[in-house]
Amino acid sequence: MSEFDKPSRAEDEYFARQEIERRKQWAKERAAKMAADERTKLKETHWMKCPKCGLDLETIELKGISVDHCGGCGGTWLDAGEIEKMQAQDGLFSRVMSVFQ
């Protein structure tokens, strides 16, 4: 084997760095996928569950606005934007709040 057939030290280092970069990228992609899978699993576990007692929530209509209600503890939960919808209706928010006090 001649000296021209053997890879040089610089070539070995180059390919070793390339392999390290590929492995780092693969690890980063795998970690992102695992994090996404974990978020999906948590969402499935907690979806429509009462944050107070853990029982299932049911969606009910309250003056034309869908809210989540727990039959176990009686808690009523609002999603993003639902308070604003109540406030936009003529005094509905204050009337609804007086029912729960």
Distance CA 89, CA 83 (A): 10
Domain ranges within the chain, ordered by starting residue? 1-47, 57-100
Q: What is the DSSP letter of 72?
A: T
**Which stretches does DSSP call E strand in 1-101?**
57-62, 65-70, 76-77
Residues comprising the chain, all counted: 101
Tell me which residues of the chain have a pLDDT lower than 50.
1
Predicted pLDDT of residue 92 = 63
Q: What is the pLDDT of residue 45?
A: 81
> Are residues 73 and 52 in contact, defined by beta-carbon separation less than 8 angstroms?
yes
Pairing of strands 57-62, 76-77: unpaired
Q: Give 88's contacts (C-beta < 8 A, 6+ positions apart).
A: none
Name the pTM for this structure: 0.49
| pLDDT of amino acid 30 | 93
